[in-house]
Amino acid sequence: MTVAIIDYGSGNLHSAAKAFERAARSMEDPQAIKVTRDPDAVYRADRIVLPGVGAFADCRRGVDAVDGMLEALTEAVRVKARPFFGICVGMQLMATRGKEHVITEGFNWIGGDVVKIEPRDESLKVPHMGWNTLDMVREHPVLERLPLGPKGRHAYFVHSYHLNAANEADVLARADYGGPVTAIVGKDTAIGTQFHPEKSQRFGLALISNFLKWKP
């Protein structure tokens, strides 16, 4: 079993790779974590992770800049139904469009736009930077045994934009930051988190483990 973490020049792959390696080590079936920018390796992988930090348009350009990557990714996830995990901007790219500074096309796997968060409470700062609890919207295997809700565990967020999903059924969890913020999306074999599981200590590792075990 191989897990491909896509390297398209965006930010901190090291942490994501290490967190997936740590989670994989504690599992029964060994899964090899491979950071790669080879579309063929992505196409052949059993699971795919798309990290992403920075601006939506930059990340989209980064994916497009690797020849054949988008085709391999789309084929693997949408046709071969491989489990996919988008992190932060990697999750936002699953949307129809990004509206950060300019309008940019997303992969359109999840209907909706990526829009600026606008907390109603003026004392709340943007970026939404720090730890927040999650409220479950829909049950999903990747959320199994994770303590959510106001008394549950926290996830680490760093973002100013979020995916405003067109279909409620695609939202698995939200956070509250002066209004609802989309925290986890899921559709078919793809999930995505706005927060950084690789930076969310034990909670993040537990979520990654669930993803690695998930057999959709």
Of 33-41, 109-117, 182-190, 191-199, the segment contacting other proteins by CB under 8 A is 191-199
CB closer to other proteins, 15 vs 167? 15
88 in active site: yes
Q: Which of 68, 81, 108, 127 binds other proteins (CB under 8 A)?
A: 127
144 in active site: no
CB atoms within 10 A of CB 15: 13
160 binds other proteins (CB under 8 A): yes
Q: Which two tokens stand for residue 146?
A: 């994770």
Does residue 119 have a cis bond before it (omega within 30 degrees)? no
CB atoms within 10 A of CB 188: 14
Burial label for 79, CB within 10 Å (0-12, 13-18, 19+), is: exposed
Residues near 80 by beta carbon (within 8 Å), at least 6 away in sequence: none
CB closer to other proteins, 12 vs 108? 12
Select which of 88, 128, 140, 162 is catalytic: 88
CB of 143 to other proteins, least distance (A): 16
CB of 59 to other proteins, least distance (A): 9
